[in-house]
Amino acid sequence: MRNFEIPTRSVTVSRDAMAATSHPSATLTALQIMTAGGNAMDAAIAACAVQCVVEPGSTGIGGDCFALYAPNGSDEVVAYNGSGRTPAAMTPEWFEERGLTEVPRQSPAAVTVPGAIDAWTRLHADHGRLPFADLLAPAIRFAEEGYAISPRVHRDWSLEEELLAADPTAARIFLPAAHAPKIGEIHRQPELAETLKRITAKGRSGFYEGPVAEDMVSYLRSLGGLHTMEDFANAHGEYVTPVVTDFRGYRIHECPPNGQGIIALLILNILSRFEANGDPQSPDRLHIEIEATRLAYAARDAWIADPDTSDVPVDELLSDALADRLAATIDLSQALTDLPPFEMPLHRDTVYISVVDRDRNAVSFINSIFDCFGTGLVAPRTGVILHNRGQSFSLKPGHPNRIGPSKRPLHTIIPGMVSHNGRIEMPFGVMGGYYQALGHANLISKVFDYGMDLQQAIDLPRMMPTSDGTSVEVEHTIADSTRAELERRGFTFTPSQDPIGGAQAIRIDWKNGTLTGASESRKDGIALGV
């Protein structure tokens, strides 16, 4: 039971259906779709389309999408990988010839072919119920008629003014009066509205062929990109088999590589080697979580890549032997100093959506343009923000995640599902780029190790190990005494410049026939049910 004297919010509880997103308009849209006869997949797609308009810094149709789907509450979870590929002409030598040692953010080299629309149309065709036009109608209305700027959206937007000002179309659309719109101002995206209408009329081909694709390709090529119309026409996602581990009697389902969901499972496997008792924010517990994350992320940066082009050791990553070996290295008296010197990328922007309908179809759905506003490049006639997912590639010779032709990068966005006794227990997800694997493990541990409700678990202070030795990025809400003790053990802390991550989750109570949901307090969103 939460302490009602502490300023926070209660979990949302309902009977028939529920949605949790990071924006109120998206959550309301999902409920409206379900009350109009749509199912959870319809609701998730419609909510995501709305967020592509009202949270333009966090997501867009020029990004990628992953989803987990549990039909009728079954634990036979369906996984879809909607991540895009590099142009067929892209090679490591292209960067070497230009003297580049990393993929620049605001460049066509950072743009892989967007996978989101392909994912939406395929998932809707296979699992949706309402006409696709009904799902995009709310987003089109917001783009045409305007939407009010919410507080977190304004904050993130204002931090990217310099990036947006560097692209003529981005500046025109997203910096009216030469600055980011303020809280409560109305913003419109008419070009995006027309693009969404074309997708409504033509489906997948309305994005990957014809005028919309031509606009994106011609703009990228004008900047020196290698993209072709064939790259867009050939874009496709795929159904994949989830990777799974057991944690405290529950089954945790994630999408397999090229995503980092398997690393969330590795962290949980390491945590399962330790007893969970007492204070979940104690120095000992946080010490274990930090070290488990550092070890698992070292494995991630060494091994996770596109399985179509590299041999990703899935069985090894999920093995008891690896979890035992890594857990045995953790010393509660001092921080580990001997980690493999793997590269560590930074955390980014995304939206995550959790939906359960009256038939207990459950959807875990995530859509991203990576950094806030992605590359900051916007296709001039269609208003499509182009993501910078290509920055997740390595340029290191011999690395399995080295950039190459028609290749998918190591991917951060990871929807999650929990099942128990043959039925789905909880669709869940955590936003925040490379934080997400740690975020998944933290949320699951706090709920199933410590018995916290979803909102309590989401609201806890967060920390994130960085690539700089024993350095840890930390929110200011971590107790001073805890931080002092961890510093004594050899960790160093840097204040986080941004709130770390974001989460949504819905838990199914099969006994009572009810739903309990929560939405990230660090964002603008809400969980609502009927």
Q: Which residues are catalytic?
A: 350
The secondary structure element, H or E, covering residue 505 is strand 502-509
CA distance 424 to 244: 13
The amino acid that residue 27 corresponds to is T
33, exposed or middle or buried, with CB in 10 Å at 0-12, 13-18, 19+? Answer: buried
Assess contact for 12 and 528: CB atoms under 8 A.
yes
Three-state SS at 453: coil
Residue 108: name the closest of 233, 232, 223, 229 by CA.
Answer: 223
- Cβ contacts of 318 within 8 Å, gap of 6 or more: 243, 245, 262, 265, 266, 269
Helix, strand, coil distribution of the chain in percent, nearest 5: 40, 20, 40
Other CB atoms within a 10 A radius of the CB of residue 69 amount to: 27
Among the residues of 335-380, which ranges form H helices? none
Assess contact for 313 and 303: CB atoms under 8 A.
yes
Three-state SS at 516: strand
Q: What is the DSSP string of 41-102?
A: HHHHHHHHHHHHHHSTTT--TTSEEEEEEEGGGBS--EEEEE-----TT--HHHHHHTT-SS
Q: Which residues of 117-152 are buried (b: 16+ CB within 10 A; e: fewer)?
A: bbbbbbbbeebbbbebebbbbbbbbbbbebbebbeb
CA distance 406 to 389: 13
Beta bridge partners of 386: 377
- Cβ contacts of 10 within 8 Å, gap of 6 or more: 2, 455
The secondary structure element, H or E, covering residue 485 is helix 480-488
Tokens of 243: 């990777």
Assess contact for 72 and 360: CB atoms under 8 A.
yes
